């Protein structure tokens, strides 16, 4: 492709997470000049695992990245849901989706980061840099960087995550919606788990464990809690083990294999429900635009789809208004649907009442297996 003339001044990407790095690699592929500003001074170790569902992998194939990942990831056959005592409730059969939609992968986030970074290897990256102000000047946007320098761009993309500074610069203070629960993630060395992926539902808590390779298991532990509750390093492992002490199956041995408090990564889980997602020549993608709860494992998938559609919109339109308008029109309904589904799944998964949880588990146990893959099939069948 020849870059549309309006993009000749280049693109500034703010944030080098999954969305920002994917966009940098995709623009590099189609010959659009871009640069990326990342707040961190160095790439911090990316500690946890991630599931890339069938739709995320479809984007990876589009950008020729799937192959690199498949070699270093675990192909998911299914996800078993049990109660806290490890009694079977239902199983989502992902292998069944494979012939039509391809595979879902579970992998270490560091593997994904490396693949995205290497696909963007020619893009200049300004580490330790943020954007202090943005000013639209008709034909471009002038950005003032935190190091005092300034430059003009045809388009600025805010890929700076849930607490996006670019969002604040263009829309002011946007309140986030707190889910009511917090999550600890960890990767442990273990080959003791039977199922390749399992989520266990307790009362007001859930525990998930997913193989990311033959020796390592990515775990997440979700608990109802007020936002911002401190979790100091001394006693952190002990407190987590205590919170999940009634959980059976693989949980006791997985938690026992934790050695250091900093193996745990904690996030209070928020959503971003603001619209619109762009103003003039500045657009938000990924969590900056539509952060969601991780209950469907779709946040990164939605970020990846954002980029695939944005690239198509840039290629097929000849003004920022047309490109960003077309992009937002194609993305909004799908993203909101996933955000809503994810929130509902999380709310039911976090129920606390003994009666409600017993009923939930009974209904889930009685649900036919095909119903568990229904949403995923719908998700994969829709044109992105
Ligand atoms: C517990 C949990 C589990 C999850 N599991 C899954 C899963 O299995 N599958 C899935 O698809 N999704 C999952 N997600 C969601 C997924 O992690 C996010 O949707 C995804 O990381 C969003 O990518 P992003 O690039 O938009 O934002 P981020 O990954 O947050 O990246 C933002 C980047 O911008 C940088 N930055 C921040 N502020 C600035 C600034 N002011 N200037 C410059 N740079 C800045 C940050 O340092 C970072 O590098 C999960 C999320 C959580 C919390």
Q: Which of 209, 203, 237, 236 is nearest to 221 (CA)?
A: 209
- Tens of pLDDT, residue by residue over 252-294, are 999 999 999 999 999 999 999 999 999 999 999 999 999 999 9
Q: Can you give the pLDDT at residue 4?
A: 82
Task: Identify the residue whose C-alpha is closest to ligand 1 atom 37.
Answer: 160
Residue 205 has pLDDT above 70, yes or no: yes
Chain-centroid distance, C-alpha 306: 12
**Residue 111 Cα, ligand 1 centroid: separation in angstroms?**
15
Mean pLDDT of all residues in 197-203: 97
- Tens of pLDDT, residue by residue over 18-56, are 999 999 999 999 999 999 999 999 998 777 999 999 999
Q: Can you give the pLDDT at residue 325?
A: 98
- Fold of the domain built from segment(s) 5-176+271-381: FAD/NAD(P)-binding domain (3.50.50)
Q: Can you give the pLDDT at residue 185?
A: 98
Domain ranges of the chain: 5-176+271-381
Taking CA atoms, 360 is separated from 156, 178, 221, 248, in Å, by 45, 23, 19, 19
Residue 301 has pLDDT above 70, yes or no: yes
**Residue 86 Cα, ligand 1 centroid: separation in angstroms?**
31
Task: Identify the residue whose C-alpha is closest to ligand 1 atom 6.
Answer: 297
- Tens of pLDDT, residue by residue over 228-250, are 999 999 999 999 999 999 999 99
Q: Which atom of ligand 1 is nearest to the CA of 49?
A: 8
Give the binding-site residues of ligand 1, using a 6 Å CB cut-off: 14-20, 37-40, 50-51, 56, 130, 159-161, 165, 183, 185, 220, 267, 269, 286-288, 294, 297-301, 303
């Amino acid at each position: 492709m020849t870059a549309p003339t309006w993009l000749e001044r280049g693109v500034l990407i703010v944030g080098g997470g999954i969305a920002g790095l994917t966009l940098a690699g995709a623009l590099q592929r189609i010959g659009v000049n871009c640069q990326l500003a990342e707040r961190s001074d160095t790439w911090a170790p990316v500690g946890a695992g991630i599931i890339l569902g069938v739709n995320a992998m479809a984007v990876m194939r589009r950008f020729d990245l799937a192959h690199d990942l498949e070699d270093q990831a675990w192909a998911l056959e299914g996800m078993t849901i049990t109660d806290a005592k490890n009694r079977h409730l239902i199983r989502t059969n992902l292998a069944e989706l494979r012939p039509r939609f391809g595979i879902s992968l579970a992998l270490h986030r560091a593997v994904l980061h490396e693949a995205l970074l290497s696909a963007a290897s020619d893009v200049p990256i300004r580490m330790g840099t943020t954007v202090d102000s943005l000013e639209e000047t008709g034909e471009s946007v002038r950005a003032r960087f935190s190091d005092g320098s300034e430059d003009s761009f045809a388009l600025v993309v805010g890929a700076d995550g849930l607490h996006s500074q670019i969002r604040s610069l263009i829309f002011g203070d946007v309140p986030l919606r707190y889910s009511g629960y917090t999550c600890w993630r960890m990767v442990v060395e273990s080959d003791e788990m039977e199922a390749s992926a399992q989520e266990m539902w307790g009362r007001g808590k859930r525990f998930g464990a997913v193989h990311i390779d033959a020796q390592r298991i990515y775990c997440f532990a979700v608990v109802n809690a007020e936002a911002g509750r401190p979790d100091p390093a001394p006693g952190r492992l002990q407190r987590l083990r205590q919170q999940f002490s009634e959980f059976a199956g693989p949980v006791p041995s997985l938690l026992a294999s934790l050695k250091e408090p900093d193996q745990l990564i904690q996030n209070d889980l928020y959503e971003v429900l603001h619209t619109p997602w762009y103003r003039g020549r500045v657009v938000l993608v990924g969590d900056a635009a539509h952060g969601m709860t991780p209950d469907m494992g779709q946040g990164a998938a939605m970020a990846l789809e954002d980029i695939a559609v944005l690239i198509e919109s840039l290629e097929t339109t000849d003004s920022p208004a047309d490109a960003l308008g077309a992009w937002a029109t194609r993305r909004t309904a799908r993203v909101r649907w996933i955000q809503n589904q994810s929130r509902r799944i999380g709310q039911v998964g976090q129920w606390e009442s003994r009666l409600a949880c017993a009923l939930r588990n009974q209904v889930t146990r009685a649900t036919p297996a095909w119903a568990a893959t229904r949403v995923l099939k719908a998700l994969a069948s829709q044109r992105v």
